[in-house]
Chains A and B, each alone.
Chain A
Amino acid sequence: MSSLAENLRDLPELLSWHLLLSLCALTTAATLTLILAIAADRSEKIKRIALDLAGTVQTIPSLALLAMMVPLLGGAIGFAPAYAALTLYGVLPMLQNTITGLDSIDGSLIEAARGLGMSERQILRRVRFPLAFPVIIAGLRTATIWVVGLTTLATAVGASGLGTYIFTGLQTRNNGMMLFGCFFAAALAIVLDQALGLLERALRNRHRGAARAIAFWFGAAALLAVFTAWEPTFESEREGPAASLPPADESANPAAPRRPLQGLALTTGSKPFIESYIQAELLALELENAGASVDNRPNMGSTILFDALRSNAVDCYVDYSGTIWATIMKREEPASRIVTLLEVAGYLLREHGIVTVGPLGYQNDYSFAMRRGHAARLGIRSIADLTDRNLKIAGDPEVFGRPEWRRVREAYDLESLSTVGMQKIYMFDAVMNDQVDAIVAYSTDGRITLYDLLLLDDPKQVFPPYDAILLVSPQAAENAALIDVLANLVNRVDETLIRDANRAVDVDGETPEAAAAFLWGQLRSPIAPPIASPDGGE
C-alpha cells in the first residue's frame, strides 16, 4: 500500500521542484511584465498589442500550451518547457493590473508632479509606480495562485512537481495520494499569496524591517528548494543505484561484467495510466540492475513522450505498436500482429532513427467487454453480434475520437449503439451496475479478470494489434550495451503477468513500483521460461 509515509518521503523533492518552477516562472513573468508595461506606457499601440497577445495566450488551454512548448523547444522535456509555458501564463494578470494601475492615477497628482519639474520617467518611478503598487501586487498575487495551480499540470511535460501525486493518485485510484498532492499545492499557493500580501502591506506602511524579513524568507525558501531539489541527483551520482538493488545480487557477483551500464544516467518516462507506470518502473529496475541511474518522468502526454524520445530527451520507454501505427504513422487499415510490428519498427528506424528493441511479449488491445451473464442473455459472443442492437457502450472519451473507433463502427455497422464517454476508472463500475451494456476496455486491464468479464471476439480484426514495444532513442541506441540489457525484457512478459501486475495496483492498491518489482522478480526466477514469440516460433 502506498501510505502517507511513502507520500511524505517524496514530498521535499517534489515540493521543492514545484516551488522552484513556480517562483522562476513568476519572477520571469514579473520582469517581462515590467518591461512590457514601461514600453506600453510610451505607446498606445504597444499597449494594445501586449494586452492582446497576453489575452490570446490565456485562451490557449493550459495543457495545450505546455504541450506546445515541447516541440517549440526542440523536444526538450522537464523544467524548460514547463517554465516557458507557466511564464507566459503568468504575464496576463500582472500586465493587466500593472497597466490599469498606472493608468488610474489621479490626474491632478500627475499634473502636480509635472508642474514641480519631474520628468516623465521620474513621474513613472516616483509617483505612478508607488501609487499603483497595491494594484500591481494584486495582479502578482492572482498570477501566483494561477501559476502554482498550473504547475501541477507540468508533470505532463516531464517536470517534477506536486502534480505527480495528483495524476498518479487519480490513475491508480489512490485518493489519499491525490488529495495529498492537492493539499500541498493549495497550501503552497495560499502561503505564497499571503506572504505577498504581507510584503505589500509592510512596504505600504513603510515597515522596512518587516519587508526585508519577508524577502529574506522568500530567498531562504528558494535556496532551500534548490538544495532539496538537487540533492537526490547528487546522491545518485555519488552512490549509483546500488541502494535499490536486491541484496542477493550484491553478494552474487559484484564484478564489472555484471554492471555493463555502470555510471550511465538514463531517462525514461510514462503516460498517465497504470500499465505505463509499471512499464517504466520495470525498465528502471532492469537498467539500475545493470548499473545505470534512471530518471523516471511519469504522467507525460502520449505525443510529448514520443517527441521527447525522438529528440533524445528521453532514452527509452514502452509504447504500443497499434498506437504508433494509428497515431504516428496515420495508417488506417489493420494488419496482422507480426506485420504491424515489423512495419512499425521499420518506420521508426527509417523516419526517426528510433530503435525498436522488441516486444515485451503481450498485447494490450482495445476490446469490447461485457458481463458474461448479460452477454449470454443477449446472445452476444463477438462484436458482430452487436450490429443493429440498441445498447449502451462506455469508454474513455479518447477512444470514441480515435480512427480505430470509426473503423470498427463502420465494419460492424454499429450506428445503433449509443456511446458514453467516461474516465477509465468509472467504466467498470458502470458495466457491473448494468448502467451500460458493454465497455471498450484494454485487454490487460486487471479488472477484466477481477470481474470475470467476457471479451468479445473481433472476427474482422478491425482493431490493430497493440503489442507493448520497447523503444530506444536514436542517441541511446548507439550504446550496444544498453540494447543488450534491454533485450533481457523482450518476449518475457505475457498477458497473465501484466494483468496480475495491473491488478495489484488497480485493485489491491499496490504502488506501480511494487508491481514492477513483482514482475521483475518473476522474470528473473530461473523457472520462468521465455514465452513464445508472437508468430509462435522462437
Chain B
Amino acid sequence: MSEVAITGFAKSFDGGESFALEGIDLVVNDGEILVLLGSSGSGKTTLLRAINGLIQPDAGRVTVGGDDIATLDATALRRTIGYVIQGAALFPHMTVAENVGIVPNLREWPPERTAARVDELLQLVQLEPDDYRDRMPAELSGGQAQRVGVARALAAEPCMMLMDEPFGALDPVTRVQLQDEFKNLQRSLSLTTVLVTHDMTEALLLADRIAILASGDVAQIGTPAEILNRPASAYIEELLTTPRRQAAELKGLFTS
C-alpha cells in the first residue's frame, strides 16, 4: 500500500539548462527504511520532497501506493505522510500538545481523540505527557524538540515517514540515543521510511537499504552489507573510509 515508486525522475532548478537530478528510478519497499545518502547539493532532499509533492518533477513520475501523486490532492496526501525536518521546526507559538495535534486537527479528528493520541505519542517518544503537554517549544532541549517533531509526524497514523536529516542538529550522545529509539519504533510499527542524511555511519546503522546519490544520479543502491563489501566506485569507497576507521579504532579499544 505504502510502496513508493519513482520512475524517470528529473528536476532542474534553472529552467532546464542543467539538471539537479536526471533519470532517477527508485523503489521504496513496504516497511523498510531507505536512506538517501549524499553530500550537500547531491539532490537527496529534492528527491525526498518530490515524494510528498513539495517539489514537482520536470520529467518522470512518483507513485505512492500505486497512485501517481500528480493526480492526488497535495495537501490531503501530505496529511497521510509523516514529515520530520532538521531542528524539528516546531511552531513556537503552539504548545507541545498543539504541535503534535496539528495533523489530526487538520484532518478534523474530534478533540478527545486528538488529545488521547497526543498523550499516546508523547509516551511513545518517551516524554511524560503530564510534564510536557503544555510546554512551549522554547522550553525544550534540542533532543526533546526532535522527539516532539517525530511525535508530530506520527500523530495522524501516517502510512509512511519522510525524514530530512532528523538527527543532524543534535549532540552525539542524544543523536545515538534517538537513532536507537527511532529504529525500534520503526520496527514495531513497520513504518515505511525514507531518511535523508550525509552521514555514512548513520546510514549504515539505520538503513535497510541505502541509495547513494552523486552527480545527479543514483551511484549505488543496496543493503549496508552490500555497500560495505562491494562499493561501486572510488567515491563510495572514500565515503566508507571514516566509518571503517572508526569501527577499527573502537574494535581495537574494546579488544585491548
Contact of B102 among A108, A116, A130, A204 (CB under 8 A): A116
Q: Does B27 contact A (CB under 8 A)?
A: no
Q: Which of B52, B76, B86, B92 contacts A115 (CB 8 A)?
A: B52
With A and B bound together, what is the CA distance between A399 and B102 in angstroms? 69
Residues of A within 8 A of B83 (CB): 112, 115-116
Does A118 belong to the interface (CB within 8 Å)?
yes
Residues of A within 8 A of B76 (CB): 117
Q: Is B106 within 8 A of A116, CB to CB?
A: yes
In the complex, which of the residues B79, B86, B93 contacts A117, with contact meaning CB atoms closer than 8 Å? Answer: B79
- Nearest B residue to A129, CB-CB: B93
B106 touches A115 (CB 8 A): no
Cβ of B44 < 8 Å from any Cβ of A? no
- The reply on A111 being an interface residue by CB < 8 A is yes
8 Å CB interface, A80-126 against B: 106, 108-109, 111-119, 122
Judge if A417 is at the interface, Cβ distance under 8 Å. Answer: no
A111-B85, A115-B85 known; A131 vs B103 contact (CB < 8 Å): no
Q: Does A326 contact B (CB under 8 A)?
A: no
A-contact bits for B75-86, CB 8 A (1 contact / 0 none) = 111110001011
Contacts of A497 in B (CB 8 A): none
Report if A111-B89 is in contact (Cβ < 8 Å); known contacts: A116-B152, A118-B106, A122-B106.
Answer: yes
Q: What are the residues of chain A within 8 A of B216 when measuring CB–CB?
A: none
CB under 8 Å from chain A, chain B span 44-63: 49, 52, 54
> Which residues on B sit within 8 Å (CB–CB) of A106?
89
Residue B168 lies at the interface, judged by CB distance under 8 Å to chain A: no
With A108-B85, A115-B85, A117-B106 in contact, do A131 and B78 touch (Cβ < 8 Å)?
A: no
Whole-angstrom distance between the Cβ of B156 and the nearest chain A Cβ = 9
Residues in B with CB closer than 8 Å to A131 are: 91-93
Given A116-B102, A117-B75: A108 and B152 interface contact (C-beta under 8 Å): no
A141 vs chain B, min Cβ distance (A): 20
Distance from B118 Cβ to chain A, minimum over Cβ atoms (Å): 15
Please measure, in the bound complex, the distance between the C-alpha atom of A456 and the C-alpha atom of B78, giving whole angstroms.
89
Q: Quick one: given A108-B87, A111-B85, are A116 and B79 in contact (CB under 8 Å)? A: yes
Contact mask for chain A residues 57-73; partner B; CB cutoff 8 A; 1 contact, 0 none: 00000000000000000
A118 to B54, CA, bound (A): 12
B88: nearest residue on chain A (CB-CB)?
Answer: A112
Would you call A109 and B91 a contact (CB within 8 A)?
yes
Cβ contact within 8 Å between A117 and B85? no
Most chain B beta carbons < 10 A, residue from A113, A116, A127: A116
Bound complex: CA A119 to CA B53 (Å): 13
Residues of A within 8 A of B93 (CB): 130-131, 204
Closest to A131 in B: B93
Whether the pair B54, A114 counts as a contact (CB closer than 8 A) is yes
Which among B52, B83, B85, B93 has the highest number of chain A CB atoms within 10 Å?
B93
Contacts of A114 in B (CB 8 A): 54, 78
For residue A411, give the distance in angstroms from its CB to the closest CB of chain B. 73
* Residues of B within 8 A of A (CB-CB), count: 22
Give B93's nearest chain A residue, CB to CB: A130
The distance from the CB of A117 to the nearest CB of chain B, in whole angstroms, is: 4
CB distance from A261 to the nearest CB of B (A): 63
Residues of A near B89 (CB, < 8 A) are 106, 108-109, 111-112
Instruction: Find the B residue at minimum CB distance from A119.
Output: B75
Contact status A116-B54, CB under 8 Å: no
Chain B nearest CB from A137 CB (Å) reads 14
A281 to B49 alpha-carbon distance, docked (Å): 76
Question: A117–B83 Cα gap in the complex (Å)?
Answer: 9
**Inter-chain contacts of A117 with B (CB < 8 A):** 75-79, 103, 106
* In the complex, chain A residues whose CB is within 8 Å of the CB of B54: 111, 114-115
With the chains together, A113 CA to B94 CA distance in Å? Answer: 13
- Chain A nearest Cβ from B140, distance in angstroms: 15
* Contact residues in A for B103 (Cβ distance below 8 Å): 116-117
- B residues within 8 A CB of A122? 106
Chain B contacts with A in 85-130, Cβ cutoff 8 A:
85-87, 89, 91-93, 102-103, 106
Residue of chain A at shortest CB distance from B79:
A117
- Please judge, given known A-B contacts A112-B83, A115-B85, whether A127 and B91 are in contact too, CB under 8 Å: yes
The answer to whether A115 and B78 have CB atoms under 8 Å apart is yes
Q: Which residues of B contact A130 (CB under 8 A)?
A: 93
* Distance of A204 Cα from B93 Cα, bound (Å): 8
The contact of A116 among B78, B87, B92, by CB within 8 Å, is B78
- CB atoms of A118 and B75 under 8 A apart: yes
For A112, A114, A118, A119, the residue with the greatest tally of chain B CB atoms inside 10 Å of its CB is A112
Q: Which residue, A108, A111, A117, has most C-beta atoms of chain B within 10 A? A: A117
Residues of A within 8 A of B86 (CB): 108
Tell me, rounded to whole Å, the shortest Cβ–Cβ distance linking B27 to chain A: 22
**Which residues does chain B contribute within 8 Å of A108, judged by CB atoms?**
85-87, 89
Write out the residue numbers on chain B whose beta carbons fall within 8 Å of the beta carbon of A119: 75
Chain B: CB-nearest residue to A112: B89
- Give the chain A neighbours of B79 by CB distance below 8 A: 116-117
Query: Smallest CB–CB gap between B80 and chain A, Å?
Result: 8
Name the residue of chain A whose CB is nearest to the CB of B86: A108
Restricting to A185-209, which residues have a CB under 8 Å from any CB of B? 204
B244 → A minimal CB distance (Å):
34
| Nearest chain B CB to A122 CB, angstrom units | 7
CA A131 to CA B103, docked complex, whole Å = 19
Distance in angstroms between the alpha carbons of A112 and B163 in the assembled complex: 11
- What's the least CB distance linking A203 to chain B, in Å? 10
Q: Which residues of A contact B87 (CB under 8 A)?
A: 108
With A and B bound together, what is the CA distance between A130 and B98 in angstroms?
14
Instruction: List the A side residues contacting B91 at CB < 8 Å.
Output: 109, 112-113, 127, 131
- Kindly provide the distance from the CB of B149 to the nearest chain A CB, expressed in whole angstroms: 8
Q: Which residues on the B side are within 8 Å of A116 (C-beta)?
A: 78-79, 83, 102-103, 106, 152-153
Please, how many angstroms separate the alpha-carbon atoms of A112 and B83 in the complex?
A: 8
Question: Which residue of chain A has its CB nearest to the CB of B77?
Answer: A117
Give the docked Cα–Cα distance between A113 and B90 (Å).
9
- Contact partners of B49 in chain A: CB under 8 A: 115
**Cross-chain contact A112 with B75 (CB below 8 angstroms):** no
Inter-chain CA distance A260–B52, complex, in Å, is 83
Bound Cα distance from A533 to B45, whole angstroms: 95
CB distance from A196 to the nearest CB of B (A): 19
In the complex, 12 of the A-B residue pairs with CB atoms within 8 angstroms, ordered by the A residue number, are A108-B85, A111-B85, A111-B89, A115-B54, A115-B78, A115-B83, A115-B162, A116-B79, A117-B76, A117-B78, A122-B106, A131-B93
- CB within 8 Å of A: which residues of B? 49, 52, 54, 75-79, 83, 85-87, 89, 91-93, 102-103, 106, 152-153, 162
**CB-based closest 6 A-B pairs:** A117-B79, A117-B78, A115-B83, A112-B89, A108-B89, A130-B93
Known: A117-B75, A117-B79, A131-B91. 16 other contacts (CB 8 A): A106-B89, A108-B87, A108-B89, A111-B54, A111-B89, A112-B89, A114-B54, A114-B78, A115-B83, A116-B103, A117-B77, A117-B78, A117-B106, A118-B75, A119-B75, A122-B106
